[in-house]
């Protein structure tokens, strides 16, 4: 009989291939300050580094949830997706790239439309997602944003776009460039209706998106250190053959030179937008529009009564026609 005996049984040896550190996958590294960040802390801070305030990229649905009251919103136009009008093939067919983008991002398209309340104000928000083919703007993206603006015009709501894009989608050629004019025309009608349009620029916002609706906002807001421009800095340097200033095309540089109105931390974005909407939106106009919508046709319908040729027009077109007829009557 031994003098000493182990109280607990021997610990079983875990095979090498089954050994895992319990904290594996629980931390990530900040590319700005190299700090190790607990992922749960990063999620609670809206994907902003708690040490240096570096802004990680955020997906479209998370952006909508962080802006709307109680994170509740109605997703719109999810049936609008890209096709292959040019039958484009590079190293692989365009249809294959679209399918891969949907599987990797979990999104139907590079932009998600939402409708809900922000600080009690009716707001229509289009959030772009860089993970879907670099947030590029094709026919479907242009159609979704245009529908959102037309719906906001009909319902007397504010429009907010959150841009994160590499520009127009090359696989759709000139058709993608036409979306720049299409969205800008819809915004012109929104402006005639005296409704607010707020543009939020995130990292990166470049190309045709910057050259169109992203820079047409009544208020243009950017996230800290976001890359904002049309052509890339290397292309510009090679063209003008000069060294560009430090932080060229960054949000702070654009703010200093009057291209954006404010640089706002993501954690303060919702409060800033509510303050802006309180200043820009007339609540009485929204109540009047909702009453008219309930008494006429179902909410969310984008069609109106047929014209004399039997064609249906969007509310934005109806509003423009009414404004023109009113101006003619006043002149006569």
Write the DSSP assignment of 107-133 as a string of letters: -SSSEEEEEEEETTEEEEEEEE-TTTG
Q: How far apart are CA 137 and CA 134, in angstroms?
A: 9
Lowest mean per-residue pLDDT among 9-13, 104-108, 176-180, 319-323: 319-323
* CATH number corresponding to 58-289: 3.90.226.10
When pLDDT is cut at 50, 70 and 90, the band that residue 311 belongs to is very low
> Residue 25's pLDDT is what?
74
Predicted confidence (pLDDT) at residue 305 exceeds the cutoff of 70: no
pLDDT averaged over every residue in the chain:
87
Residue with more model confidence, 327 or 201: 201
Predicted confidence (pLDDT) at residue 314 exceeds the cutoff of 60: no
Q: Note the pLDDT tens digit of each residue in 116-156.
A: 999 999 999 999 999 999 999 999 999 999 999 999 999 99
Query: Tokens in use for 42?
Result: 């990063």
Q: Note the pLDDT tens digit of each residue in 206-215.
A: 999 999 999 9
Query: Tokens in use for 119?
Result: 């600080």
Residue 31, CB-side half-sphere exposure with 13 Å CA sphere = 4
3-state secondary structure of 50: coil
When pLDDT is cut at 50, 70 and 90, the band that residue 325 belongs to is low
Q: Which of 290, 254, 240 is nearest to 120 (CA)?
A: 290
Predicted confidence (pLDDT) at residue 332 exceeds the cutoff of 70: no
Cis omega before residue 204 (within 30°)? Answer: yes
Q: Note the pLDDT tens digit of each residue in 51-99.
A: 999 999 999 999 999 999 999 999 999 999 999 999 999 999 999 999 9
Q: How far apart are CA 165 and CA 146, in angstroms?
A: 17
Lowest mean per-residue pLDDT among 18-32, 85-99, 175-189, 200-214: 18-32
Q: Could you identify the residue written with the tokens 């904290």? A: 23
> Residue 306's pLDDT is what?
46
> Residue 4's pLDDT is what?
64
> Residue 13's pLDDT is what?
72
**DSSP type of residue 266:** G
Give the rounded percent of residues in the chain with a pLDDT score beyond 90: 74
For the chain, give every domain's residue range: 24-56, 58-289
DSSP E strands: which ranges in the chain?
A: 27-29, 36-38, 73-76, 111-118, 121-128, 158-165, 197-205, 219-222, 262-263
Predicted confidence (pLDDT) at residue 269 exceeds the cutoff of 80: yes
Predicted confidence (pLDDT) at residue 205 exceeds the cutoff of 90: yes
Question: Which run of H or of E encompasses 104?
Answer: helix 94-105
- Going by their DSSP bridges, the two strands 111-118 and 158-165 should be labelled as unpaired
> Residue 26's pLDDT is what?
86
pTM, to two decimals: 0.80
Give the rounded percent of residues in the chain with a pLDDT score beyond 70: 79
> Residue 192's pLDDT is what?
96
């Amino acid at each position: 009989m031994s003098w000493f005996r182990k109280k607990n049984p021997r610990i079983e040896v875990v095979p090498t291939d089954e050994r895992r550190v319990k904290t594996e996958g629980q931390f990530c590294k900040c590319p700005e300050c190299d700090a190790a960040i607990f992922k749960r802390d990063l999620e609670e801070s809206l994907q902003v580094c708690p040490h240096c305030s570096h802004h990680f990229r955020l997906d479209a649905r998370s952006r909508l949830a962080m802006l709307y009251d109680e994170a509740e919103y109605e997703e719109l136009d999810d049936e609008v997706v890209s096709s292959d009008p040019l039958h484009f093939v590079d190293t692989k067919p365009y249809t294959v790239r679209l399918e891969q983008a949907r599987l990797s991002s979990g999104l139907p398209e590079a932009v998600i439309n939402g409708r809900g309340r922000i600080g009690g104000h009716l707001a229509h928000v289009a959030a772009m997602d860089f993970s879907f083919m670099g947030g590029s703007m094709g026919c479907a993206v242009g159609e979704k944003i245009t529908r959102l603006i037309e719906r906001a015009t009909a319902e007397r709501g504010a429009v907010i776009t959150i841009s994160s894009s590499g520009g127009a989608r090359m696989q759709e050629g000139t058709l993608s460039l036409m979306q720049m004019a299409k969205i800008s025309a819809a915004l012109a009608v929104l402006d005639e209706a005296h409704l607010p349009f707020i543009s939020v620029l995130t990292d990166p916002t470049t190309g045709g998106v910057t050259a169109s609706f992203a820079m047409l906002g009544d208020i243009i807001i950017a996230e800290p250190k976001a890359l904002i421009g049309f052509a890339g800095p290397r292309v510009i340097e090679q063209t003008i053959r000069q060294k560009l200033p430090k932080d060229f095309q960054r949000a702070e540089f654009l703010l200093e030179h009057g291209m954006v109105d404010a640089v706002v931390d993501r954690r303060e974005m919702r409060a800033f937008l509510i303050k802006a909407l309180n200043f820009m939106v007339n609540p009485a106009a929204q109540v009047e529009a909702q009453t008219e919508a309930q008494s006429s046709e179902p909410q969310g319908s984008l069609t109106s009564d047929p014209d004399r040729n039997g064609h249906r027009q969007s509310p934005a077109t109806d509003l423009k026609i009414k404004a023109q007829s009113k101006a003619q009557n006043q002149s006569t």
